[in-house]
Structure 1
Amino acid sequence: MNAVPRASRLWLRALEAVSSIERGTELTFGGVLNDLADQYGAAPALIDDEKTLTYDALARLANLYSGWARQEGFASGAVIALLMHNCADYVAIWAGLSQAGCIVALINTNLTHTALSHAVRASGAKAMIVATTLQENTALLAAECPELLMWRHGAGEGVWPRVEHALTESDDPKRPHAPITNDRTALLIYTSGTTGMPKAAKVSHARILQWSYWFAGLMDTQPGDRLYNCLPMYHSTGGVSSIGAVLVRGGSVYIRRRFSAHRFWPEIVESGSTIFQYIGELCRYLLQAPSQPLETKHQLRLCCGNGLHEKVWRRFEERFRIPRIMEFYAMTEGAVSLYNCEGRPGAIGHIPGFLAHRFTMVLARCDTETGMLVRDEAGRGMVCAAGETGEALGRLDTKSTSPARHFEGYTDTASSEAKLARDVFTTGDLWYRTGDLMRRDADGFYYFVDRLGDAFRWKGENISASEVAAIISGHPGITDAVVFGVHIPGQEGRAGMAAIAVEANFNLAALRQHIYKNLPSYARPVFIRLCPSIQRTSTFKLAAGTLAADGYSNAPLEQLLYDDRVLQDYTACTPATLTEIASGTRPV
């Protein structure tokens, strides 16, 4: 075995880990927690500021929530929304509720008002558990949805009953409503995608297990590992796959509510963390922070994540003496994933020859203006050559028992159908469209290029331009609004920019208040362009192409405003402002 290259050993370990996971069986994550409790008992599993849940305590708490769901009479398939900050109980709640046959919608804690109402409505939730500290965010939701049953979690004053006080022991706490097959939906996780408003992606019990054991193999997790997790737990990486990868091997997770560059290295060292789950933006923040002695005194053996650009990768690895970095590409709802086990800086993944039959992904030629796949005279798709940019497609197999070969879709059927392409290369084939543009080099490594459609990535989050535009357009005095992402030198992803046409009596300060009230911080446009009018296409759609091409650097200065978060106002841009933004001396 020692003669096998390290990357190949990791691949083989991952394949072995998921070999027994098949759709349609009764193996679920909640059931696995009970087995882990039997195996690891008093060992720490989840650690936050307030408590440590051992494996015994985690399984017991999950079973209590499962019993609570039965006691409250939630039918199998009932949706319960979960709005909570990162904490140890978070995993126990979704694991327990899903084991009882419920579907748990993981809600973004940054959402308020309109955006929050949309997310909960899209899930079809019958009930909601909200952190006591987040009750104020739900005022509009509670008024609009009086039929929504509400509980709160955590100490403090509140209107709704505390869910912890309703938990009672059961004669048989491990018993779900009825035997659950793991092809059923366990979670709803929201994604912007590339086709408009945030969509609730279905995540089955089988996919949760697939993620957990696959990453356990690739990360080679062991009982002595401790994961430092500051990523939002309402996302699949921060709340499911990375945590699952450590737990199924008996390790522990050190949970932080949010990322802090100042506290990062002291917490890494104090906690004895061996794995850090990153997004590229966090690595860049750490590089921008002043040097401190503890930054090389850590026990980290692996940093795993996505969005790490080549230059940042090399500097991060060298300055902080990181033994191994594993970049990957995956989508909550998608049937496409890539893994860079070889450690090539800048690459999002590589498919070894001996695994080509399992990773049925191609890069197909795509018209970036229309978003349509390019087809030849026979109506067939065209595969990109090495070095050519194309859209990543993943082949689906509805007959396969492997969770990785299925697209489980969204709660909205039309949105699910929009992600599928049929008869692309052969009659009857079925492909999942990622909406992501990539290129493959001569060595078979893949590199992310950009996103198709109306989505872009900023501050580690996928942002739907059409959603932001809809929120802006809902403000009085706006006649037209288009939103797009713009590149800022030295920044990861693309910052939001809104081009708007307004009425004569328009109130700019009121617009900023509206945006700050209804959009999370990362989705708020950095730039506003005040246009006399916005051109429309022949089909009456707003034409954003020219405006997006201008970006902020080529827009007329008299039309350009910058969201100055120090002055808390939109201020006019000057040449000096643009220079400071480009150099990184003015924060965005």
Structure 2
Amino acid sequence: MNLPHTLPNLPQPPVSREQTQALLDLRAEASGQIKPRDHYTLADRLEAQAARHGQRPFLIYGEQTLSYAEVDRQADQVAHAAFAAGLRAGDVCALMMENRPAFFSCWFGLVKLGVVVAFVNTQVTGKPLLHALDTTGAKALVVGEECLGNLQATEGLPALPMWLIDDAENRWTGALPAGVDRQFATAMAAAPDTPFPKAHRAGLEAQAPTLLIFTSGTTGLPKAARYSHMRWLSSGDVMEVTLNAGVDDVFYCCLPLYHGAAATSVTSTALRAGASIVVRRKFSVREFWSDVARHRISVFQYIGEICRYLLNRPAIAGEREHTLRCMLGAGLSSESWQRWVERFGPIQVFEGWGATEANTNLINVDNYLGACGRVPDWNRTNLRLVRFDVENDCHPRDANGFYQLCEVGEVGEAMGFIVDHPDIGGGRFEGYTCATATESKIRRNVLREGDAWWSSGDLLRQDADGYCYFVDRIGDTFRWKSENVSTQEVADALSDLPGLELINIYGVQVPQHEGRAGMAAVLMQAGQAFDPQALYRLTEARLPRYAAPMFVRVSAAADLTSTFKLRKVDLQRQGYCPNACPDPLFIRDERSQNYQPYSPQLLEQVGLPAFEGGQHG
């Protein structure tokens, strides 16, 4: 399936491969500053920047501003209190808290002690919460008062210390859940704010883990990915030169800190540059632009869906008069990208591709519409695109049994060669806390005997100029009528349906048919009704017939992860069975050139059998 990746009425910059490579070389040089065996940690950088930028604003939260020196002193208090409570270097402490300054002071304080911090999703309860504590091997849990309800709703919590951090915005009025201790906060407030002795983390190397960050978990329970001091620090070093960030920049942190983007890219870059971070507890469409104006925000980390929410807002006067100079993130479709710059002005967009645990990545440093990065010279990256057979769910092999590299225009899986050298940090795969999960992401003997590659599970494509485009997740792309259908490309093509808030495309099994039929779950904006004929016209204008969804369900709410990733598994299981699906269902009817309400008669007319419940897509 080949849909256009660029739109004709937004000119593309004539950037040479040499120009792009020069910028990528600067990133590569920056990424090598911290060596695996250096005795240098996140805490050392915090202390160095606090000494250098002491009175400069670091965290801005509502009416509160904390300087670099103040954040550092608060972190020292946490370190002293945690040490007195028994934590030691190398221990794991879980942290469950919403975005607020206390998140940073607790995180940084534990790091000063040499503790590995496991970020826990603030929306999980029950089995997922127990899984998070178990799989990280946490010896203690620091929990914000705003998350006490999660503990209250969870049976069988392990017998580990649970230290409560007050939240003035969310007071808990009932009895505390069993095992939760208020005394830690008292001890922390009474602890000295003198520098915590570095001797307690003196043996730590940069390659040691500092964070455990959970994957998004769109299917099943998430995995805890290891994140080393070296990798976290290098992220800041690399993005500082990429964004040309400096002390006058103001970063906007509106994505949850327990997820990789906000905790790694935003925080590490701002700290490296001596810049400020505006912290918002939760993303707000209504408050976004007022926050930008009020705090003169210059850098914004996005997820594609956030941009769509902002584009769905009615236009107001003066929208192009703002301080945003650049934005970085992933998942911004070509259509949304073009609409964004046309509406809000020529903001530099650093669209990228990667993953929390990835040992390779892409970033679009050229502002080239629709691309998630560029590879001017494949000999200077550990990334490769290898052919993948969607129909048979496998990688084709050559005569010698090795995988095959993609040609220009071919869709393939992105893989990263795993570098295993004691003095080289780049290209390492740090894996997960679970050895089995780590091994499941490694492919061996890929291009030659004895090599090892990280398997991303993502399908990408490159064009003749070396620009790369995200196509889909393996397992999301499906075959229908002997053609491959990319759920991501279909969603992008239909994303500007009038009144649409979200669209989720997936394939559902059809009894007695090969492959899967396309289905769209649409969520309309408040006050907007689904127009089936408008959707049909849009499919005719933008999609080949085989890629147009056969079924539509009009959802009352979107099934999203907390980082705005769409879940599909339950939707696939329900399929187009009216008994399993609580939403209004529609069937594509080419005779009437419309999507018509579901009926057994219409299903028979279009030549499809009834859905057999309980199937898995």
TM norm structure 2: 0.75
Residue equivalent to 1:166: 187
Contact 1:266–1:294 (CA under 8 A) maintained in structure 2:
no
Between the aligned partners of 1:493 and 1:210, the Cα distance in structure 2 is 36
CA distance in 2, matches of 1:244, 1:525: 29
Q: Output the CA distance in 2 between the equivalents of 1:239 and 1:34.
A: 18
The equivalent residue for 2:76 is: 63
The amino acid of 1:87's aligned partner reads: R
Residue number in structure 1 paired with 2:284:
260
**Corresponding residue of 1:345:** 369
The aligned residue for residue 504 of structure 2 is: 494
1:235 to 253, 259, 263: 259
CA shift, 1:235, in A, is: 1.0
Paired with 1:336 and 1:521, the residues of 2 have a C-alpha distance of 21
Q: 2:453 aligns with which of 412, 431, 434?
A: 431
Residues 493 and 369 of structure 1, relative CA distance in 2, 3 Å threshold: farther
What is the aligned partner in structure 2 of residue 444 from structure 1? 466
Cα distance change on mapping 1:19 and 1:409 into 2, 3 Å? closer
Q: Structure 1 residues 267, 194: closer, same or farther in 2, change over 3 A?
A: closer
- Equivalent-residue separation in structure 2 for 1:518 and 1:439 (angstroms): 26
CA–CA distance in structure 2, aligned partners of residues 524 and 351 of structure 1: 28
How has the CA–CA distance of structure 1 residues 140 and 518 changed in structure 2, closer, same or farther, with 3 Å as cutoff? Answer: farther
- Measured after TM superposition, the shift of residue 6 of structure 1 is 6.6
Give the secondary-structure state (helix, strand or coil) at the position aligned to 2:310.
helix
Native 8 Å contact 2:586 2:596 kept in 1: no
Report what 2:201 is aligned to: 178
Query: What are the Cα deviations for residues 461-496 of structure 1, in whole angstroms up to 9, with x where unaligned?
Result: xxxxxxxxxxxxxxxxxxxxxxx9996632777368
Counterpart for residue 356 of structure 2: 332
C-alpha separation between the residues in 1 aligned to 2:279 and 2:368? 29
The counterpart of 1:48, out of the listed 57, 61, 82, is 61
Shift in alpha-carbon separation, 1:263–1:31, aligned structure 2, 3 A: same
Superimposed CA distance per residue, residues 16-63 of structure 1 (whole angstroms, 9 cap, x where no aligned partner): 433321111111111101100111110001111252221101222222
Equivalent residues of 1:283, 1:312 under 8 A apart? yes
Other structure's SS at 1:421 match: strand
Q: 1:66 to 1:5 in 2, by over 3 A?
A: farther
Unaligned runs of 5+ in 1: 457-483, 500-514, 530-546, 562-569, 582-588
Equivalences for residues 215-254 of structure 1 within 5 A: 215-254=239-278
The within-5 A match list for 1:452-471 is 452-453=474-475
Structure 1 CA distance, aligned partners of 2:489 and 2:129?
A: 26
Instruction: Indicate conservation of the 8 Å contact 2:383/2:414, yes or no.
Output: yes
Q: How many residues align?
A: 506
Distance 1:579 1:253, change over 3 A: farther
Q: Aligned equivalents of 1:518 and 1:227: distance in 2?
A: 25
Candidates 143, 152, 162, aligned match of 1:150: 162
Is residue 164–residue 181 contact of structure 2 (8 Å, CA) maintained in 1?
yes
**Do the aligned partners of 2:330 and 2:352 also contact (CA within 8 Å) in 1?**
yes
Deviation at 1:137, TM superposition (A): 0.9
Structure 2 SS opposite 1:449:
strand
How far the C-alpha of 1:329 sits from its partner, in A, is 1.0
Which residue identity is paired with 1:166? A
Where do residues 9-28 of structure 1 align in structure 2 (5 Å cutoff)? Answer: 10-28=23-41
Are residues 1:319 and 2:343 paired?
yes
- Alignment of 1:411 onto 2:424: no
Going from structure 1 to structure 2, the CA distance change for 1:50 and 1:343 (only over 3 Å counts) comes to same
Distance 2:145 2:249 in 1: 32
Alignment partner, residue 545 of structure 2: none
Note the C-alpha offset of 1:153.
1.4
Matching residue's letter, 2:38:
T
Structure 2 residue ranges without an equivalent (≥5): 1-15, 479-486, 496-500, 510-556, 589-593, 598-617
1:391 equivalent in alignment to 2:391: no
Deviations 1:206-232 (A, max 9, x none): 110111111111111011000112111
Task: Summarize the Cα distance change of 1:242–1:92 in structure 2 as closer, same or farther, 3 Å threshold.
Answer: same
Q: CA deviation at 1:118?
A: 1.9
Aligned to 2:119: 106
Residue identity opposite 2:404 in structure 1: M
8 Å CA contact 2:75, 2:106 repeated in 1: yes
Question: Is the deviation greater in 11-20 or in 42-51?
Answer: 11-20
- 2:403 matches 1:381: yes
- Cα distance in 2 between the residues matched to 1:525 and 1:445: 28
From 185, 209, 214, the equivalent of 2:238 is: 214
Provide the C-alpha distance between the structure 2 equivalents of 1:74 and 1:325, rounded to a whole number of angstroms.
42
**Residue type matched to 1:122 in 2?**
T
- Give the equivalent residue in structure 2 for 1:467: none
Q: Mean alpha-carbon deviation: is it higher for 436-445 or for 447-456? A: 447-456
Distance 2:313 2:288 in 1: 10
Report the Cα distance in structure 2 between the residues aligned to 1:87 and 1:58, rounded to whole angstroms: 12
Summarize deviations over 1:486-526 as a string: whole Å, max 9, x none: 96632777368999xxxxxxxxxxxxxxx999997968978
Counterpart Cα distance in 1 of 2:297 and 2:596: 37
Deviations 1:190-215, CA, capped at 9 Å, x for gaps: 11479853100000111101111111
Percent identity between the aligned chains? 32
How many angstroms apart in 2 are the aligned matches of 1:257 and 1:22? 34
The 1-side partners of 2:366 and 2:298 are apart by 19
TM-score for the superposition, normalised by structure 1: 0.78
Which one-letter code corresponds to 1:198 in the other structure?
P
Q: Is the 8 A contact 2:300 2:324 kept in 1?
A: yes
Q: CA deviation at 1:66?
A: 2.2
The CA deviation at 1:574 is 5.0
User: CA 1:493 to 1:202, structure 2 compared with 1: closer, same or farther past 3 Å?
Assistant: farther
| Distance change in 2, residues 1:53/1:310 (3 Å) | same
The separation in 2 between residues aligned to 1:268 and 1:224, in whole angstroms, is 14
Residue 102 of structure 2 aligns with which residue?
89
